[in-house]
Amino acid sequence: MRHLLAIEDLERTEIEAVLDRAESFAEVGRRDIKKVPTLRGRTVVSLFYESSTRTSASFELAAKRLSADLVSLKAAGSSVDKGESLKDTCATLSAYDPAAIVIRHPYAGAAQLVAGWSEAAVVNAGDGKHEHPSQALLDLFTLRRRLDSLDGAKIWIVGDVLHSRVARSNLIAFKAMGAEVTVCGPPALIPRGIEQLGCTVELSLDRLGKADVVYALRLQQERMRESFVPSLREYATHFQIDSRRLGPRQLLMHPGPVNRGVELSGEVIDSPQSLMTEQVASGLVVRMAILYELLAAGPERPSSTEGEPAQDPTPIGQPA
Amino acid sequence: MSLAETLDMRPGEGANLVLRGATVLDPVAGVEGVHDVVVRDGEIAELATPGADLDGLEEIDAEGLHAFPAFFDPHVHLRTPGQEHKEDIETGSRSAAAGGYCGIVAMANTEPPVSTPADVEALREAAREGASIPTGFLATVTRGMEGEELTEMAAIRGAGALGFSDDGLPIRSARMLRRALQYQRLCGGTIALHEEDPELSGDGVMHEGPVSAALGLAGIPSVSESTMIARDAALARYEEARIHVQHLSAAESVEAVRAAKAAGVQISCEASPHHLCLSDEAVRSLDPRRHKMNPPLRSEADRQALIEGLREGTIDCVATDHAPHAAEEKEVPFEQAAMGVTGLETAFATLHTELVLPGTLDLALLLERMAGGAAPFGIERPSLAPGSEANIALCDLGAEWTVGEEGYESRSENSWCAGRKLTGRVLMTLAGGQVAYRLRSFSLGVAA
């Protein structure tokens, strides 16, 4: 892997390599000293043009656990705030000679542009409503620990599919791993033509019982003002996942943050079927694995200064 | 009236030359065959038998080359006044000449928009100083394109505007368009319409369909265009007015125009080379320099409907909607980038390569549509019949070239076909009786 720009670019074997790598980092996470020297002396830039809690925090912690030097830039308060173009920002950042740039941006294709303007490996941490590949990978990792295989698994993605980069990346990722995907939501929030991505479209939860996994999406308040749905109450009536709709053998996921009482009822959030806490925990090890795969694995990449064995499946180093 | 008399261009010497042994094709004038095309004082003096004895003329070896009536583009953006960093009358008209054009019509959405008689006079004066081919100008329908009040349409016509358009924006209010159509009876001038319902387009940046669903980009539905065409065709019918629909992109729009023509509405329309050659699949590249424009590239079925519309005549003409933009306006994420692509230098070559060579469209039909944009604005179409003003595109239909390899005549580089290999190239253009363009590498014979 040269960059991680979109799940669409990845083969199943590449996805599995990241997930396998993440398993080995999960083992590191159980040690007293959770840091490995893999990326010592290399710089990771985290460039967030949109607010984010879990994605930025887990990427930054992942870089630190790998002993990288971290430069963290938020749009507010930086030169970006003063009207600097993305291209110029990339030129400025290149002075730090970053090994990787992790970018979150409000518009589709921003990470791809940065990949063209920079020598660094680029990680798309969310580009507009396009893709959020690290989220999809951590969701796959979480699910794989519960279900031995996703082959043939029935997964429903429920809610505001139109405005969700998570929906898009996950749909593609679930399909790549052999799952059967259904998207479900109010008609105005299901993108026209989405079935050509290889999913089934449902406009009600009547057949939700067939799902092995229910992946709920966040419904933002402004969708109501834009008349995508008449009211949050009406949305909840038809599309909220609650204990009445969620069967005991079904798993529940959500990318967070949750609107309690809108897309999910309180009791299912705290139920044993909910994987939401595990999703957050997976975020760290999967993002460590992504940085490792981009910067330390693979024969064509220069090996790290510490001479880590490039193909070693378990990146277990000495505590830094 | 000749183009040079109707439109404005830099005055100069009428051409005196002979295209020796050119394959002449003018389907409208009914001229076809190998001739020595004799041009004297800017006029086609005769189509002589090859090898005739001619004195005092520059000799151009045109054996194996084609002489066509030069093309007419009713829809270009010359960015003057106000955005000369993108294009101006000199670079834009040179770009057109390089594409084989002998006439262009500039849109009025400049900064500020062309909304007064003085604005039109200033542009015509600038064209007489800097335009290498005959150039015409539209003024806006509403003052400042704000959609609130009509411009002084009669005075603007008096100043020499060819017609009116708020291109770049639709006329949202049916009442406002109706008033303009009523006033047209008094002042004449075709009203050219950018058809789009902003309520339906919303914040869309590409065609709504499977590709926008996959990319997570907000979509512009086809009905945003076709519903407005249907509305405006009904208004034109009611007021017995004359309208020209700009840049058709969708199958539903072709249907709407077809129905309006069948009902006797005075309506004409255009389609662009990029809509005829590309579909929204191209947007997967997320490259706004080549693939972001309004109306957006639509589905393959829409593209096929446009080709059929062009073939049957529902679509009267090809228009490039040549829309130059500076590099920094395109080197940004797709959603943030400016809308529009350039196309004057490549229009004929792209359509020849993509539609004529594969057998989709006859060469003769393409030539008819490449100059079909003159009539909707009341301009005589270029002709190769003896006695006509010399408006000739000399082309090498076998020449292969790569777009942008040698740069552009336009000031901007946002060509939708940058990097494409094309077959067929304009070597020389005569426009308004003058030699407007010669390809640098086209070697010329020595004067006799």
Mean pLDDT of chain B: 96
Please indicate, yes or no, if residue B232 is contained in any of the structural domains.
yes
Least-confidence region, from A109-118, A224-233, B156-165: A224-233
CB contact under 8 A, B334 and A109: yes
Mutate to test the interface with A, among B200, B208, B212, B215 (most CBs of A within 10 A): B215
pLDDT at B260: 98
Given A165, A193, A196, which is nearest B216 (Cβ)?
A165
Q: Do A231 and A121 fall within a single domain? A: no
Report d(CA B263, CA A159) in Å as an integer: 46
Please indicate, yes or no, if residue A311 is contained in any of the structural domains.
no
pLDDT at A305: 42
Residue ranges of alpha helices (H) inside B159-222 are 174-187, 198-201, 210-215
Q: Residues B301-326: what's their mean pLDDT?
A: 98
Domains in chain B: how many in total?
2
pLDDT at A298: 63
Q: Which residue type does B298 have?
A: R
Question: Which residues in chain A have Cβ-Cβ distances shorter than 8 Å to B213?
Answer: 191-194, 196-197
Q: Do B250 and B175 fall within a single domain? A: yes
Q: Residues A226-237: what's their mean pLDDT?
A: 91
Residue B295 scores a pLDDT above 70:
yes
pLDDT at A313: 42
Between A and B, how many CB-CB pairs are < 8 A?
Answer: 70
Please indicate, yes or no, if residue B269 is contained in any of the structural domains.
yes
Please indicate, yes or no, if residue B235 is contained in any of the structural domains.
yes
Question: Which residues in chain B have Cβ-Cβ distances shorter than 8 Å to A127?
Answer: 333
Mutate to test the interface with A, among B200, B217, B289, B299 (most CBs of A within 10 A): B217
Q: Residue B138: name the closest of B81, B74, B211, B70 by CA.
A: B74
CB contact under 8 A, A194 and B286: no
pLDDT at A28: 87
Q: Do B101 and B244 fall within a single domain? A: yes
Mean pLDDT of chain A: 91
Q: Residues A54-64: what's their mean pLDDT?
A: 95
pLDDT at A223: 78
Please indicate, yes or no, if residue B446 is contained in any of the structural domains.
no
Name the residue range of residue A179's domain: 133-278
Q: Do B339 and B430 fall within a single domain? A: no
Q: Do A138 and A240 fall within a single domain? A: yes
Q: Give me the CATH number covering residue B45.
A: 2.30.40.10
Please indicate, yes or no, if residue A302 is contained in any of the structural domains.
no
pLDDT in tens, A103-120: 999 999 999 999 999 999
pLDDT at A79: 64
Q: Do A170 and A214 fall within a single domain? A: yes
Least Cα separation, residue A172 to chain B (angstroms): 10
Q: Residue A166: name the closest of A193, A126, A203 by CA.
A: A126
Q: Residues B419-442: what's their mean pLDDT?
A: 95
Q: Give me the CATH number covering residue A193.
A: 3.40.50.1370
CB contact under 8 A, B216 and A112: no
Mutate to test the interface with B, among A47, A85, A113, A227 (most CBs of B within 10 A): A113
Residue A40 scores a pLDDT above 50:
yes
Q: Residue B250: name the closest of B193, B212, B207 by CA.
A: B207
CB contact under 8 A, B333 and A165: no
Instruction: Write out the residues of chain B at the interface with chain A, using a CB-CB cutoff of 8 A.
Output: 208-219, 221, 286, 328, 331-336
Report d(CA B241, CA B224) in Å as an integer: 23
Question: Which residues in chain B have Cβ-Cβ distances shorter than 8 Å to A105?
Answer: 333
Q: Residues B110-132: what's their mean pLDDT?
A: 98
Least Cα separation, residue A26 to chain B (angstroms): 32
Least Cα separation, residue B337 to chain A (angstroms): 10
Report d(CA A156, CA B339) in Å as an integer: 37
pLDDT at A227: 86
Least Cα separation, residue A110 to chain B (angstroms): 5
Residue A307 scores a pLDDT above 60:
no
Element (DSSP H or E) covering residue A56: helix A54-65
Q: Do A127 and A183 fall within a single domain? A: no
Say how many C-beta atoms besides its own lie within 10 A of residue B304's C-beta. Answer: 15
Instruction: Give residue A225's pLDDT band: very low, low, confident or very high (50, 70, 90).
Output: confident
Residue A311 scores a pLDDT above 60:
no
pLDDT at B246: 98
pLDDT in tens, B349-402: 999 999 999 999 999 999 999 999 999 999 999 999 999 999 999 999 999 999
Question: Which residues in chain A have Cβ-Cβ distances shorter than 8 Å to B211?
Answer: 193
Q: Give me the CATH number covering residue B100.
A: 3.20.20.140
Instruction: Write out the residues of chain A at the interface with chain B, using a CB-CB cutoff of 8 A.
Output: 8, 85-87, 105, 107-110, 112-113, 127-131, 165, 168, 191-194, 196-197
Q: Which residue has the tokens 């706004």?
A: B288
Least Cα separation, residue B286 to chain A (angstroms): 6
Residue B24 scores a pLDDT above 70:
yes
Q: Do A97 and A184 fall within a single domain? A: no
High-pLDDT (> 90) share of chain A, %: 80
Question: Which residues in chain B have Cβ-Cβ distances shorter than 8 Å to A129?
Answer: 216-218
Please indicate, yes or no, if residue A316 is contained in any of the structural domains.
no
Q: Do B26 and B150 fall within a single domain? A: no
Q: Do B14 and B83 fall within a single domain? A: no
Q: Do A11 and A111 fall within a single domain? A: yes
pLDDT at A221: 78
Q: Residues B13-34: what's their mean pLDDT?
A: 96
Question: Considering B345, B377, B409, which residue would you say is the last residue of a domain?
Answer: B377
Q: Do B32 and B180 fall within a single domain? A: no
SS percent in chain A: helix, strand, coil, step 5: 40, 15, 45
Q: Give the tokens for residue B6.
A: 């109707």
pLDDT at A80: 65
Domains in chain A: how many in total?
2
Residue ranges of alpha helices (H) inside B61-116 are 89-98
A312/A244: higher pLDDT? A244
pLDDT at A315: 45
Question: Which residues in chain B have Cβ-Cβ distances shorter than 8 Å to A165?
Answer: 216
Q: Searching chain A, which residue's CA lies closest to the CA of residue B327? A: A87
pLDDT at B444: 52
Name the residue range of residue B114's domain: 76-377
Q: Do A207 and A250 fall within a single domain? A: yes
pLDDT at B408: 97
CB contact under 8 A, B214 and A87: no
CB contact under 8 A, A86 and B217: no
Report d(CA B251, CA B254) in Å as an integer: 5
CA B126 centroid distance within chain: 20
Q: Do A114 and A142 fall within a single domain? A: no
Q: Do B105 and B206 fall within a single domain? A: yes
Question: Considering B344, B359, B377, which residue would you say is the last residue of a domain?
Answer: B377
Query: How many alpha carbons lie under 13 Å from residue A280 in its C-beta half-sphere?
Result: 9
Q: Do A127 and A145 fall within a single domain? A: no
Q: Do A91 and A33 fall within a single domain? A: yes
Q: Do A73 and A206 fall within a single domain? A: no
CB contact under 8 A, B332 and A129: no
pLDDT at A222: 76
Q: Which residue has the tokens 């740039």?
A: A101
Cβ burial A72-87 (10 Å sphere, 16+ → b, else e): ebbbeeeebeeeeebb
Q: Residue B434: name the closest of B22, B169, B102 by CA.
A: B102
* Contact (CB, 8 A) for A208 and A243: no
Instruction: Give residue A226's pLDDT band: very low, low, confident or very high (50, 70, 90).
Output: confident
Report d(CA B350, CA B347) in Å as an integer: 5
* Contact (CB, 8 A) for B134 and B4: yes
Q: Write out the E strands in chain A.
A: 43-48, 69-74, 100-105, 121-127, 154-158, 180-184, 200-202, 213-216, 251-253
Residue A196 scores a pLDDT above 50:
yes
Report d(CA A107, CA A112) in Å as an integer: 11
CB contact under 8 A, B215 and A112: no
Mutate to test the interface with A, among B286, B289, B290, B299 (most CBs of A within 10 A): B286
Q: Do B340 and B391 fall within a single domain? A: no
Q: Do B146 and B243 fall within a single domain? A: yes
Residue A272 scores a pLDDT above 50:
yes
Question: Considering B377, B404, B426, which residue would you say is the last residue of a domain?
Answer: B377
Q: Do B114 and B176 fall within a single domain? A: yes
CB contact under 8 A, B286 and A193: no
Q: Considering Cα of B78, then B79, then B82, then B88, what sign does the dihedral take? A: negative
Least Cα separation, residue B406 to chain A (angstroms): 23
Say how many C-beta atoms besides its own lie within 10 A of residue B284's C-beta. Answer: 12
Least Cα separation, residue B209 to chain A (angstroms): 5
Please indicate, yes or no, if residue A1 is contained in any of the structural domains.
no
Q: Is B41 labeled as catalytic in the residue annotation?
A: no
High-pLDDT (> 90) share of chain B, %: 96
Residue A77 scores a pLDDT above 70:
no
Q: Searching chain B, which residue's CA lies closest to the CA of residue A166? A: B216
Report d(CA A282, CA A293) in Å as an integer: 16
Q: Do B43 and B143 fall within a single domain? A: no
**Residues paired with A180 in a beta bridge:** A154
Q: Do B179 and B286 fall within a single domain? A: yes
Question: Which residues in chain B have Cβ-Cβ distances shorter than 8 Å to A111?
Answer: none
Q: Do A273 and A286 fall within a single domain? A: no
Please indicate, yes or no, if residue A117 is contained in any of the structural domains.
yes
CA B413 centroid distance within chain: 17
CB contact under 8 A, B216 and A131: yes
Catalytic residue among B167, B280, B321, B396: B321
pLDDT at A310: 42
Q: Which residue type does A204 have?
A: S
